[in-house]
Structure 1
Amino acid sequence: MNIGDMLFQLVFLIFIFGLFSGVFFLVRSLVTKQPRKSESIEQKLDKIIDLLEKDKKN
C-alpha cells in the first residue's frame, strides 16, 4: 500500500463519517422540533403572569 492509497482511504472514511453525522443531526433536529419547546415555555410564562396578576389584585 502506498501513501496515496492510504490518503484516499482516510479522506473517504472522513467523508462517510461526515455524511452519517449529517443525516443523524438532521433526523434528530426534525424529531425534537424546537418550536414545541418555546410554545411550552410561553404557556408557562403566561400562567406565571396570570398568577402574579391575581396576587396583585388580592
Structure 2
Amino acid sequence: MNIGDVIFQLFTFICLFGVFFLVRSLVTKQPSKSENIEQKLDRIRDLLEKDKKN
C-alpha cells in the first residue's frame, strides 16, 4: 500500500464523517422548529379563547 492510498482513504473517511454529522445536525434541527410553531399556535389558540370569553 502506498502512502498516497493511505492519504486518500483517510480523506475519504473524513469526508464521510463530515457528511454524516452534517445530515445529523440538519435532521435534529427540524423538531425544534416544529416545537416553536406548536408554541406559537398554542399562544394564538389561547388568545382566541380569551377573546371569545370577552
TM over 0.5, shorter chain: yes
2:9 counterpart residue number: 9
Q: Which protein has the larger Cα radius of gyration, Structure 1 or Structure 2?
A: 1
Q: TM-score, normalised on structure 1? A: 0.57
Residues 21-32 of structure 1 aligned to structure 2 (within 5 Å): 21-32=21-32
- Displaced runs of 4+ in structure 1, greater than 3 A? none
Gap regions ≥5 residues in structure 2: 44-54
RMSD across aligned positions (CA): 2.3
Equivalent pairs, count: 40
Unpaired runs of at least 5, structure 1: 44-58
Cα distance in structure 2, aligned partners of 1:9 and 1:32: 36
